[in-house]
Structure 1
């Protein structure tokens, strides 16, 4: 199952990288979020849940508090991304900043919380 966990981790990290990269690429011009951000956020959410499931099946250690915080942040990012995509050009710029900022916070939690 180690190979499955590694593949899920790669997909998870690439999904968050897409969300953060799309946000950073549009910082100068106040435009709506890039197409695909909502799907990348949903993919990151799904792969994160799958990684926790695989770790639990292998009886590996899981920090449940960290996972809970990351899950809440990921759900908020995903919901905001789908709402912003649905609103199209009428989505506030602050919503795009919230999506990118919270995605960055999620990555920081993953790396810095030990």
Structure 2
């Protein structure tokens, strides 16, 4: 079971890297007002959602303690991120504030994962 959990943690990190990497590579474009949500950002957010749900299930099946409040907060942030990226995915330009919001919420999600014990 531990190997399976570690595989899904790795996939979850790949999803975060895709979402946050897509944001970071377009920070200059955000300053110019030409940033857009890339398919990699959408796929990263979806990967985070699926692997996160699987991780909760695997940890509960393995009789490990799951902090449901932490998972709920992370899920709420991810749903907002996913909604924004999904709705604006076809736009040629995304407003600076929305683009920055997605990057900020993603960063907050990472810090919650690491620091909330």
Which whole-Å CA distance do the structure 2 matches of 1:10 and 1:103 have between them? 17
Partner residue, 1:74? 78
Tell me which residue corresponds to 1:24.
Answer: 24
Pairwise CA RMSD of aligned residues? 1.1
Structure 1 contact 84–95 (Cα < 8 Å) conserved: no
Aligned pairs for 1:21-100 within 5 A: 21-30=21-30, 31-86=35-90, 88-100=91-103
> Cα offset for 1:33?
1.9
Of the candidates 95, 105, 110, which is equivalent to residue 107 of structure 1? 110
The secondary structure found in structure 2 opposite 1:85 is coil
TM-score of the superposed pair, with normalisation by structure 2: 0.90
- Gaps spanning 5+ residues in structure 1: where? none
Indicate if the aligned counterparts of 2:22 and 2:40 stay in contact, CA closer than 8 A.
no
- How far off its partner does 1:35 sit? 2.5
Q: CA deviation at 1:84?
A: 1.5
Q: Contact conserved, 1:33 with 1:84, CA < 8 A, in 2?
A: yes
Q: Where do 5+ consecutive residues of structure 2 fail to align?
A: none
Normalising to structure 1: TM-score of the pair?
A: 0.93
Deviation for aligned residue 1:94: 1.9
Shift of 1:90: 4.3
